[in-house]
Amino acid sequence: MTLRTVSPNQRRTANDERPTSVSDEFWMEEALSAAQRALEAGEVPVGAVVVHAGEIVGRGWNRNLTDSDPSAHAEIIALREAGTNLGNHRLGDCELFATIEPCPMCAGALVHARIKRLVYGADDPKAGAVHSVIEVLNHPQLNHRMDVRGGVLAGRCADLLQSFFRGRRAEGR
C-alpha cells in the first residue's frame, strides 16, 4: 500500500493556529476516507489512521473478508503499517484515529503499541472496549495509559455503519 502523507499544515495559513479539536476532525476525515474504502470492498466500513509528528504513518480499513483474517481490523492494519514505517513496534509518539470505539482486540493492541492518544468517532455499544462494554484502555492494572477522546464526527461515523448494516439486513444477510 502506498502512503499518502497528509498534514493539517497543508490547509493552514501562516497565522492560523487551530485548536486540537479541529486537527482531530481533520484526521477523522482521513479515517472516514479509509472506512469508505472498506465499504467499497464490501467490508464493515471502519477506518483508522496513525499520526506521528503531523503525518499519517499508518492507514487501515477493515479487511476481514478480503484477507480471510479475523484480526484484520482497521486499527490493527494501521498499527502494523505504522510500526513498519517507523521501524518500531512501540508507537509512543503516535495518535490513532478510528471511526468507531475499538474492540477488545484492538484496544489491547493500542496498549501494547504504547499509543499516546486515541481519538474515535462513534461509540460501539456491542463491542466497545474504551467504555461502552468493557474498559480495556487505561485499566488500573495495565502498565500503559493513554489520552482518549471519543465522539469526534460521531454522527457521520455512526451513519456510515448504520447505513451499511441497514443495507445488509435489507439484502437478508
Locate 131 and state its grid cell: 467504555
The SS3 of residue 30 is helix
Question: Which amino acid type is present at position 171?
Answer: E
Question: Which amino acid type is present at position 130?
Answer: V
Q: Is-catalytic flag, 30?
A: no
User: In angstroms, what CA-CA distances link 116 with 38, 56, 90, 160, 163?
Assistant: 26, 15, 10, 27, 32
CB of 39 closer than 8 Å to CB of 160: yes
* 75, 81, 95, 101: the active-site residue: 75
User: In angstroms, what CA-CA distances link 102 with 41, 127, 143, 172?
Assistant: 21, 8, 19, 27
Residues with catalytic function: 75
